[in-house]
């Protein structure tokens, strides 16, 4: 559950709106006792901290209580879409017959909304103008899929739709990063866990799927770097510049450690738990 208001200029339907969701992330999804969660919880079972009104009893103290994993999760607006559109406002509490179907659909919808997040960004990138017709068609198709009925959504093969979108996003990335000029670093899928990259020039680099867990990125320049799927858990991005970082998401930023000097794309927003 988010710990800060969603960024105002993120697309409205891609911002988590807990007030219009039946706490699906707190019920449908499983989690295991770990550094991110203080207890085990199977999927389809309400979290022990969930109140009858679908609010969190420890929302203000999630990190202190051992539930930091909740503070980095983002449904990209899938929760309210499932709650208010797919199931027309019927709650799993008030209508037990929709509980199982609702819990099955939520993870599917979350994946679709994540694709919408990337495609919406791609459509807005000036460098991606040559791909605009294809990007708009892909965006419309994924949006159409989000409006399917519960049964169709539960059976949907998201991977089959993710593959062509992924290819389109890769082409978008190439166009966007070409603006940097010169030779750009390719660290796609690289193991950079704990890497000492303080002050590194990573402008226009491909960091897709890179493991940056615990990396020292203080003061690094990641402008126009492609960070789709990069793992920033516990990476120190204090003072780093991620302005225009391509395909950066709120969960990635929330999983990292930053401060008031960290520069971020406006659509992502600054995590509440970062140092001020």
Residue 127 has pLDDT above 80, yes or no: yes
Q: What pLDDT score does 196 carry?
A: 98
H helix count then E strand count, the chain: 7, 0
Per-residue b or e along 166-178, where b marks 16 or more CB atoms closer than 10 Å to that residue's CB: bebbebbbebbbe
pLDDT reading at 27 higher than 80: yes
The single residue listed with the structure tokens 């992330």 is: 25
Domain with CATH 2.160.20.80 in the chain: 184-270
37/244 Cα distance (integer angstroms):
32
Residue 152 has pLDDT above 70, yes or no: yes
Is it the case that residue 130 has pLDDT exceeding 70?
yes
Is the model's pLDDT at 3 over the cut of 50?
no
Q: Which of 134-148, 173-187, 215-229 has the lowest mean pLDDT?
A: 173-187
Q: What is the token pair recorded at 162?
A: 């993710």
Output the pLDDT for position 181: 83
Q: pLDDT tens digits, residue range 163-218?
A: 999 999 999 999 999 999 888 889 999 999 999 999 999 999 999 999 999 999 99
Residues 34-92 pLDDT 10s? 988 999 999 999 999 999 999 999 988 998 999 999 989 999 999 999 999 999 999 99
> Tokens at residue 171, please?
């082409």
> Which residue carries 């070409």 as its tokens?
178
pLDDT at 60: 87
Show the tokens assigned to 181: 């000029």
* Yes or no: domain 184-270 corresponds to CATH 1.10.10.10: no
Work out the average pLDDT over 263-272.
Answer: 90
Tell me if 66 sits within 8 A of 38, measured CB to CB.
yes
Tell me what pLDDT residue 11 has. 58
Proportion of the chain above pLDDT 70, given as a percent: 95
């Amino acid at each position: 559950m988010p710990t800060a208001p969603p960024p105002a200029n993120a697309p409205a339907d891609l911002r988590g709106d807990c007030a219009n969701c039946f706490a699906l992330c707190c019920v449908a999804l499983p989690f295991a006792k770990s550094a991110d969660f203080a207890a085990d919880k199977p999927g389809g079972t309400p979290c022990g901290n969930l109140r009858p009104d679908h609010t969190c009893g420890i929302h203000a103290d999630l990190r202190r209580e051992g539930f930091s994993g909740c503070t980095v999760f983002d449904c990209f607006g899938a929760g309210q879409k499932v709650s208010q559109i797919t199931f027309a406002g019927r709650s799993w509490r008030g209508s037990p017959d929709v509980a199982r179907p609702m819990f099955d659909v939520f993870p599917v919808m979350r994946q679709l909304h994540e694709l919408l997040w990337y495609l919406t960004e791609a459509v807005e990138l000036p460098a991606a103008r040559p791909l605009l017709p294809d990007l708009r068609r892909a965006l419309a198709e994924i949006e159409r899929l989000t409006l399917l009925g519960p049964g169709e959504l539960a059976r949907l093969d998201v991977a089959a739709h993710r593959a062509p979108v992924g290819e389109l996003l890769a082409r978008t990335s190439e166009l966007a990063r070409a603006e940097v000029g010169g030779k750009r670093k390719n660290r796609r899928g690289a193991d950079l866990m704990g890497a000492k990259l303080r002050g590194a020039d990573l402008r226009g680099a491909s960091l897709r799927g890179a493991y940056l867990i615990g990396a020292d990125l203080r003061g690094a320049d990641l402008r126009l770097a492609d960070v789709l799927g990069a793992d920033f858990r516990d990476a120190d991005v204090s003072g780093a510049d991620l302005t225009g970082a391509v395909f950066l998401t709120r969960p990635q930023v929330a999983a990292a450690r930053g401060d008031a000097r960290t520069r971020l794309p406006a659509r992502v927003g600054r995590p509440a738990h970062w140092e001020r």
